[in-house]
Amino acid sequence: MRSGPKSQHASKADRRFTRRNLRLGLILLALGSVVASLLVGVSGSSATTAASYQTPASVDSWYAAPSNLSGMANGTVIRSRGTYLSFLGLPLPIQSWQLLYKSTDAKGQPVADSTSLIIPLGSFGGPGPRPLVSYQAAEDSVGAQCAPGFSLTSFSNPAVIGDVLQASQALLHGWALAIPDYEGPESQFIAGAQAGHAVLDGVRAVQHFSPSGLNPQTPTALWGYSGGGAATGWASELQSSYAPELKVVGTAEGGVPADLGMLVNQINGGVFAGFEFIGVLGLWRAYPEMALDPVLNQAGRDLLNANQNSCLGSVLLQGAFKKLDDYTVRPNVIAEPLYQSIMAQNKLGQRMPAAPVFNYGAMFDQIVPSQGNDNLVAAYCAGGVKVVKERYLLAEHVTAAAEGLFSALNFLGDRFAGKPVQSTC
């Protein structure tokens, strides 16, 4: 049934009101995340001395995997629950849920992963169906409580909140927003296949979740920065083989740690050296054959045991200006064939994304080597991928995320609109 002029005017007014409320809510959430960061300090600083780590299910039984998990198709919704996102009791004009769904880890074994889904209230005002953006937040941690699904409701990882607030600009465009806990139930930080599978199966899950109003024909984009950029890159590279039915129209990836070997060489012994230890811990969970115990000295075992459930901040403080050799019984363990093989398996650029890519970041990034990103772009261009590349001269790793925000949004908006890509290859 067509609406008359009066009802059309009311609909537009309602949309403007909804957008104003959402902007206000996002501003308040931004202030809240800053306050939480100041109060919490470094998330996860109360390190555990236990030799084992928590999983989401050990914190909240809702995350428990069913016994018949292996018989489910990837992306099957296991269970769902509504969530309430607010600030100081003020409701936001959105609908939100958490979905638990079947996926596979870095080894191809069945796992129960989770995602948060946020949809603005009201009908989508643009042409065509409401698009979906899967945003991979920079969790960069090995604690279950650090995942976006926990952080969105408890501020347990303020860094994730700040990251998601940038992504929430997608809601102002009327797009649906999925935020997967892509590290999986074992918090396999920087494990590429685990992340890529979780992202793609998360998209499948939300598109088959009937309250979302989405479906497999929904135009979909992938977006992420830093550790989330790596997860985004893996999803884009695996999509054509792992989830070819998805209608992925574009990928925006920023500050991507595309080459782990380059990353280690750049940060080892520096202020951000804690990244490499938490990366080793995440990869060890994905690849148990790494067998860390025989190569760690007492200092390494102490750091490992103290940070089994930590968010990034704690490990950054403890690991600053340390070298991997400070924690191992022999020098240059990272150069040994086993570890080189695992890093090689987790290097981006070995498969070609099917959709156009926007790659952005700082020209002189103090954490993620920009050369690794440039090499990734070169590989994509050589493989026939349409790429738009942006480098920021006066930015560093953190500020480059903000500098590239609206370029990323514009790139994704153009892909949803079906505009041609002006490739910089």
What pLDDT score does 359 carry? 98
Largest CA distance in the chain: 77
Quick: pLDDT tens for 334-393: 999 999 999 999 999 999 999 999 999 999 999 999 999 999 999 999 999 999 999 999
Least confident among 96-110, 162-176, 250-264, 347-361: 162-176
- Single out the residue of 351, 129, 126, 321 nearest to residue 238, CA to CA: 351
Quick: pLDDT tens for 197-216: 999 999 999 999 999 999 99
Q: Percentage of the chain with pLDDT > 90?
A: 74
What pLDDT score does 52 carry? 74
What pLDDT score does 3 carry? 36
What pLDDT score does 125 carry? 83
Task: Please say if the pLDDT value at position 15 is more than 50.
Answer: no
User: Between 5-40 and 158-167, two packed helices, what is the crossing angle to 10 degrees?
Assistant: 160
The number of beta carbons lying within 10 Å of the beta carbon of residue 24 is 14
What pLDDT score does 328 carry? 96
pTM for this predicted structure = 0.88
What pLDDT score does 36 carry? 37
Cα(133)–Cα(175) distance, integer angstroms: 7
Q: Percentage of the chain with pLDDT > 70?
A: 87
AA letter at 222: L
**Consecutive H or E run containing 388:** strand 387-392
Distance (Å) of CA 20 to CA 88, 120, 384, 392: 17, 12, 42, 31
Q: Residue 87 — very low, low, confident or very high, per pLDDT cuts 50/70/90? A: low
Cα(401)–Cα(159) distance, integer angstroms: 13
- Single out the residue of 198, 122, 153, 141 nearest to residue 33, CA to CA: 153
Average pLDDT, the chain: 88
Q: Strand pairing partners for 98?
A: 81, 116
Distance (Å) of CA 315 to CA 142, 155, 275, 303, 320: 10, 18, 8, 9, 8
> Which domains does the chain possess?
13-40+70-259+347-416 (3.40.50.1820), 260-343 (1.10.260.130)
What pLDDT score does 47 carry? 35
Quick: pLDDT tens for 26-67: 444 443 433 333 333 333 333 333 347 889 999 999 999 999
Cα(300)–Cα(293) distance, integer angstroms: 9
What pLDDT score does 4 carry? 35
| 378 CB-near residues (< 8 Å, 6+ apart) | none
What pLDDT score does 14 carry? 44
Q: Residue 313 — very low, low, confident or very high, per pLDDT cuts 50/70/90? A: confident
| 89 CB-near residues (< 8 Å, 6+ apart) | none
Least confident among 6-10, 55-59, 141-145, 166-170: 6-10
Report residue 106: phi and psi, to 5°: -65, -25
User: What is the average per-residue pLDDT within 81-100?
Assistant: 85
Quick: pLDDT tens for 233-267: 999 999 999 999 999 999 999 999 999 999 999 99
